[in-house]
A and B are shown apart, each in its own frame.
Chain A
Amino acid sequence: MALYPLPIAKYTVAALGVLFFLVLPLSLHEYYLSIANLVWISIIGALGLNILVGYTGQVSIGHGAFMSVGAYTAANFATRLDFPWPVNLLLGGLMAAAIGAIVGIPSLRIKGLYLAIATLAGQLIIEWTINHVTFISGGVQASIEVPRPQLGTVVLNTHREMYFFLLFFVVVAIVGTMNLMRSRVGRAFVAIRDQDIAAEIIGINIFRYKLLAFAISSFYAGVTGVLYTYYFGIANYEQFQIGVSIDYLAMIIIGGLGSVLGSIFGAAFVTLLPIGIRYGMEAVSGVLFSEATVHNLIPALRLTLFGALIIVFLVLEPEGLNRLWRNIRSYFRVWPFAY
């Protein structure tokens, strides 16, 4: 189990990490940082969904809606009451957690596909409510602008500033999730997924813990929604529709269910894929298709690829990219002596 057999290797990895994630971004072009920022935000959301789906074994197609709950809660507090962003972030997370726990109530009685449908209903009801209740959505556009976040007197305007701002939350979310999963609460989640009868006999209150999983997962989603809102400067319900719920499911399936590292890989992969597709298509545009065709093709191609990838991973590698990474690592650990 020695991940890094020598301390020197551990320090090297840590030093490379600091160099790559903290020093390099100081000189990178803003465009790349804007992409990195999207990855950061999605990692938090993917971790949250993985706690519920991967670790606790409860399916949810409502993750996008829980993000919107966080987003609109924060936006309303920010604009109506001028609350500072840390307060709004917390309130957005808590409100999403409360709503998430309510949507999770059916999980006491139903499982699998039926639970998926129930959470889908939750997604649609929340979408509709936000879209139609102007008190929440702030009017016809159903979008609310928020002021830029501030640290002391510094206003975070650029992608570079946001990069470090978001990175902080990503690190907290990753470390926190790892901690959660290696202690009492996380173990209970996995116990429910593995064997719910045995989980009851050792004293786990299944209903309470399922709701807890929904609440925690939705808290992450709420925070993700708030961060999107502050990143784009606006809360917009279109950003949290059902497609987003599916994207996040794709992240954890492709990355690896029940794995922190898998959540990170999956979030990065799914966020970067459309950008990769666009580059690829633009390279061949003009040659094969007209520019306009390419533009129309990209969303379709993205969906097709997602669908195909989800199926491929479910069938061939249920443990996702995380497993592939482990295989590669153990290969190189013995390299050049293969077995």
Chain B
Amino acid sequence: MSAILEIADVSRSFGGVQAVQKVSVDIPRGEIMSIIGPNGAGKTTVLNMISGFYHPDHGRILLEGTDITHLAPSEIAKLRVARTFQNIALFSGMTVLDNLMLGRHVLMKSGVLSSFIYWGLAQREEVAHRKRVEDLIDFLKIQDLRRRPTGSLAYGLRKRVELGRALALDPKILLLDEPMGGMNQEEKEDMARFILDVNEEWGTTIILIEHDMGVVMDISDRVAVLDMGLKIAEGKPDEVRVNPAVVKAYLGETKTSEVRHG
């Protein structure tokens, strides 16, 4: 089996909280793998460890066989792992275009001197990379927004631009933390379409965290389920759906939320 990413026996705690405990997941190349689980299950923490924001207390993370457990986020980006955030982290003062160009930062080379002189090297590089960015702008259908500062965009569009910035890296692996959170049904369908298209057109491996079960079951090749930091199930969507442990974890959550609202 060709796993592009191996998460091996990874744990991480914050103070007294065991956010992730001995979780192992292999992410097969070219597939869409979803990570689901109730609030606070440790999903975002897993992404944070893959992208280098947190390092695990125990365990290892291997990208194509190379140990990336202790690399810094900027080094992991160089290995073509891109990501979006649960609560959007765009450069809000900058235009959509600049945000996407920034997504290609590690693929570009111009240093201080050639940037200062600009004409020649830096300009040629700008033009070449702008082409790819324009393709992405067409792909995401945000042609009208090019020059808009991202801070002025509606929520759903900001999520889309953030996806665009991640795609601009030409990623091998795309980590999406609740890309449909807070969206209406139509926006969710658009986003699901984009994710499927990215996977099909460029063969990008995708790790997706999402709460909307309908979407998850529809678009995932595999699903891993976390609950209170533990992996309680993994498999094809149909298998996971009927897994008793999963059902229990979700029912438990429903009950507590009923209690909370009642």
A binds B: yes
A: residues with CB less than 8 A from B are: 1, 176, 179-180, 182-188, 190-191, 193-195, 197-206, 212, 216
* A residues in contact with B205, CB < 8 Å: none
B167 to chain A, nearest CB (A): 12
B216, CB-defined interface residue at 8 Å: no
Contact check, A183 vs B89: say whether CB atoms are below 8 A apart: no
Contact check, B102 vs A188: say whether CB atoms are below 8 A apart: yes
A89 to chain B, nearest CB (A): 15
**Contacts known (A200-B73, A200-B74, A202-B103); A191 close to B116, Cβ less than 8 A:** no
Secondary structure class of chain A's binding surface, majority of residues: helix
Contact check, B110 vs A183: say whether CB atoms are below 8 A apart: yes
* B residues in contact with A201, CB < 8 Å: 51, 53, 73, 77, 82-83, 85, 89
Contact check, B73 vs A198: say whether CB atoms are below 8 A apart: no
Most A CB contacts (10 A, CB to CB) among B85, B94, B109, B115 go to B115
**Contacts known (A184-B108, A202-B103, A203-B77); A176 close to B91, Cβ less than 8 A:** no
Q: For the complex, what is the distance from the CA of A188 to the CA of B112, rounded to whole Å?
A: 11
B: residues with CB less than 8 A from A are: 51, 53, 72-74, 77-78, 82-83, 85, 89-94, 98, 101-103, 105-106, 108-112, 115-118, 122-123, 125-126, 147, 165, 169
Q: For the complex, what is the distance from the CA of A95 to the CA of B133, rounded to whole Å?
A: 39
A230 to chain B, nearest CB (A): 22
Instruction: Give the number of residue pairs across the A-B interface with Cβ within 8 Å.
Output: 103
Q: For the complex, what is the distance from the CA of A184 to the CA of B51, rounded to whole Å?
A: 22
B129 to chain A, nearest CB (A): 9
In the assembled complex, 7 residue pairs joining A and B whose CB atoms fall closer than 8 Å, in A order, are A179-B116, A184-B110, A190-B91, A194-B93, A198-B91, A201-B51, A201-B82
Contact check, B117 vs A179: say whether CB atoms are below 8 A apart: yes
Contact check, B92 vs A184: say whether CB atoms are below 8 A apart: no
Q: For the complex, what is the distance from the CA of A214 to the CA of B89, rounded to whole Å?
A: 25
Checking B72, B83, B92, B115 against A194 with a beta-carbon cut-off of 8 angstroms, the contacting residue is B92
**Contacts known (A179-B122, A198-B85, A204-B105); A184 close to B91, Cβ less than 8 A:** no
Q: For the complex, what is the distance from the CA of A280 to the CA of B51, rounded to whole Å?
A: 61
* A residues in contact with B111, CB < 8 Å: 185
Contact check, A180 vs B115: say whether CB atoms are below 8 A apart: yes
Q: For the complex, what is the distance from the CA of A205 to the CA of B75, rounded to whole Å?
A: 8
Contact check, B115 vs A184: say whether CB atoms are below 8 A apart: yes
Contact check, B85 vs A179: say whether CB atoms are below 8 A apart: no
Known contacts A195-B92, A201-B51, A216-B112; 7 additional CB pairs below 8 A are A179-B115, A184-B105, A185-B111, A187-B98, A187-B105, A201-B73, A203-B74
In the complex, residue of chain B having the shortest beta-carbon distance to the beta carbon of A176: B116
A171 to chain B, nearest CB (A): 13
Q: For the complex, what is the distance from the CA of A32 to the CA of B53, rounded to whole Å?
A: 56
* A residues in contact with B78, CB < 8 Å: 203
Contact check, A203 vs B169: say whether CB atoms are below 8 A apart: yes
Contact check, B105 vs A197: say whether CB atoms are below 8 A apart: no
Q: For the complex, what is the distance from the CA of A191 to the CA of B92, rounded to whole Å?
A: 9
B94 to chain A, nearest CB (A): 6
Q: For the complex, what is the distance from the CA of A202 to the CA of B77, rounded to whole Å?
A: 6
Checking B73, B102, B116, B147 against A1 with a beta-carbon cut-off of 8 angstroms, the contacting residue is B147
**Contacts known (A176-B117, A202-B106, A204-B105); A184 close to B122, Cβ less than 8 A:** yes
* A residues in contact with B126, CB < 8 Å: 182-184
Contact check, B74 vs A204: say whether CB atoms are below 8 A apart: yes
Most A CB contacts (10 A, CB to CB) among B53, B82, B112, B169 go to B112
A322 to chain B, nearest CB (A): 15
B68 to chain A, nearest CB (A): 14
Contact check, B74 vs A183: say whether CB atoms are below 8 A apart: no
Checking A180, A197, A202 against B112 with a beta-carbon cut-off of 8 angstroms, the contacting residue is A180
